[in-house]
């Protein structure tokens, strides 16, 4: 995989789990007593990468370099590129920002991905088909654990993606989000003509792991209106596979109506498909091998822009971007990577009860007669209390006599001595408690 440059996106703010990221940047959230960013770095290191470009903020860079608890234990060279947190950059903007560093095709990974995928499955698709894009998707997870702090009824999941693949399940032919289908599911004739049999899949999650041609990064440099890889670039490339102008000698489209009115100007000299592989193109044209059945047309139907997807059927693949995913990752990641559930720097008394499905983070202080079950404690001080099914955030202090069940204790929260007890109904019909905020004293009972 050394022909690819690895890029790690680690500048996200974690807007969907602000109670956790109030004092700790998302890439440094502890999962199984390792910083979240360690997991994708470890994935890259295991397959042989020796260098990775890390796009992050100055706060993350500073904490990694100064805080011993954030030791990453990686041997790769980290080329850290800092961006301003308030700049509100999307992932495509970040790629555009480092264009001068990009010398080859790239492998882009999100910092919140925890997976045991065989990475070569994605890369081999990219290589074998000389693809413009190959990506990783997995089956959507149904989190069964109660989400502490969730107010009211369980929220509906994110709107579904409709993903169309060919008979092999590898060629990515169609991709649209449910929110964008105002007029229903519409398949273009140009797709059906070349691929009359298409399988439409739902219940898939984009893992935010992509192999991209260098020419795609060059394309982004001239199309600044595209801000997100997942939301804009990938759907754009998938649609353009079957555009006549894309497969002609030059791209002539000046705008794509499907980008909802955004002006996407395309330099005629920039081609999204491969440019310097004429011998490979000639061998494909003269080969008897074909990638489709039923006709004797050109390989790949003459298409030069090709998108592929590896759908992970088994194994672990989580995007840790919600509280539910964070809880699940803390339960499973330590088992997968054989990590200790209690951080070595935690101060634990001799008389305690900590369940095997709990995580105790760095610098936690747990006093005598403390009982902890099915909980994740990031950084906290606890004294003679009972904690069950809860998440205790950075800087929280739990005082004597507190009985906390299925709660989210916010960053910096202090639970007063003899704090009120939170006792929700049984899990089957429980209404989860209201999240605790850093400024609020004590614990409010359920209403």
Going 404 to 405 to 407 to 411, the CA torsion angle's sign is positive
Does residue 325 lie in a domain region?
A: no
Question: How would residue 251 be classed by pLDDT, with cut points 50, 70 and 90?
Answer: very low
Same domain, residue pair 197 and 281: yes
Same domain, residue pair 315 and 358: no
Does residue 24 lie in a domain region?
A: yes
Same domain, residue pair 306 and 365: no
Same domain, residue pair 133 and 219: yes
For residue 343, CA distances in Å to 124, 247, 377, 441 come to 38, 55, 11, 28
Same domain, residue pair 376 and 306: no
Total structural domains within the chain: 2
Same domain, residue pair 268 and 167: yes
Contact by Cβ (8 Å): 30, 37: no
Reduced to 3 states, what is the DSSP secondary structure of residue 225?
coil
Does residue 396 lie in a domain region?
A: yes
Among 16-25, 31-40, 167-176, 251-260, the minimum mean pLDDT is found in: 251-260
Label residue 163 exposed, middle or buried (CB < 10 Å: 0-12, 13-18, 19+): buried
Same domain, residue pair 306 and 357: no
Distance CA 224, CA 89 (A): 11
Same domain, residue pair 315 and 378: no
Same domain, residue pair 179 and 302: yes
Tell me the per-residue pLDDT of 98-116, one tens digit each, with 9 for 90 and over. Answer: 999 999 999 999 999 999 9
Same domain, residue pair 308 and 362: no
Tell me the per-residue pLDDT of 1-32, one tens digit each, with 9 for 90 and over. Answer: 668 999 999 988 777 777 778 778 889 888 88
- Give the CATH number for residue 291: 3.90.550.10
Does 341 have pLDDT greater than 50? yes
Closest to 166 (Cα-Cα) out of 296, 291, 295: 291
Residue numbers of the domain that contains 48: 4-319
Question: How would residue 52 be classed by pLDDT, with cut points 50, 70 and 90?
Answer: very high
Question: How would residue 190 be classed by pLDDT, with cut points 50, 70 and 90?
Answer: confident
Which of 86-95, 131-140, 388-397 is modeled with the greatest confidence? Answer: 131-140
| Averaged pLDDT of the chain | 75
């Amino acid at each position: 995989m050394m022909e690819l440059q690895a890029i790690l996106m680690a500048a996200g703010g974690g807007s969907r789990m602000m109670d956790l990221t109030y004092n700790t940047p998302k890439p440094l959230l502890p999962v199984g007593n390792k910083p979240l960013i360690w997991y994708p770095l470890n994935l890259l290191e295991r397959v042989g990468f020796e260098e990775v470009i890390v796009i992050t903020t100055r706060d993350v860079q500073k904490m990694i370099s100064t805080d011993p608890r954030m030791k990453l234990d990686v041997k790769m060279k980290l080329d850290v590129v800092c961006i301003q947190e308030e700049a509100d950059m999307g992932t495509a903007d970040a790629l555009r920002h480092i264009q001068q560093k990009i010398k080859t095709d790239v492998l882009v990974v999100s910092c919140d991905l925890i997976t045991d995928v065989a990475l070569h499955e994605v890369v081999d698709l990219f290589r074998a088909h000389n693809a413009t894009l190959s990506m990783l998707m997995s089956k959507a997870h149904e989190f069964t654990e109660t989400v502490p702090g969730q107010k009211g009824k369980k929220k509906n999941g994110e709107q579904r993606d409709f993903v169309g693949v060919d008979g092999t399940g590898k060629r990515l032919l169609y991709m649209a989000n449910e929110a964008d289908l105002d007029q229903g599911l519409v398949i273009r004739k140009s797709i059906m003509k070349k691929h009359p049999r298409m399988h439409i899949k739902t219940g898939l999650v984009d893992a935010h792991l992509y192999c991209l041609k260098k020419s795609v990064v060059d394309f982004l440099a001239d199309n600044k209106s595209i801000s997100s890889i997942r939301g804009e670039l990938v759907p754009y490339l998938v649609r353009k596979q079957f555009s006549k102008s894309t497969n002609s000698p030059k791209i002539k489209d000046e705008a794509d109506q499907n980008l909802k009115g955004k002006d996407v100007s395309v330099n005629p000299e920039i081609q999204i498909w491969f440019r310097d592989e004429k011998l490979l193109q000639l061998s494909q044209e003269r080969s008897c091998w074909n990638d489709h059945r039923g006709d004797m047309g050109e390989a790949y139907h003459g298409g030069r822009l090709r998108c592929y997807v590896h759908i992970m059927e088994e194994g672990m693949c989580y995007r840790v971007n919600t509280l539910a995913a964070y809880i699940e990752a803390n339960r499973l990641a330590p088992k997968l990577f054989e990590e200790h559930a209690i951080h070595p720097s935690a101060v634990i008394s001799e008389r305690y009860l900590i369940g095997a499905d709990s995580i105790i983070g760095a610098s936690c202080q747990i006093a005598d007669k403390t009982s902890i079950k099915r909980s994740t404690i990031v950084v906290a001080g606890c004294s003679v209390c009972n904690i069950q099914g809860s998440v205790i955030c950075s800087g929280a202090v739990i005082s004597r006599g507190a009985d906390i069940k299925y709660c989210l204790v916010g960053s910096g929260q202090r639970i007063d001595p003899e704090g009120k007890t939170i006792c929700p109904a049984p899990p089957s019909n429980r209404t989860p408690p209201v999240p605790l905020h850093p400024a609020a004293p004590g614990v409010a009972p359920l209403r």
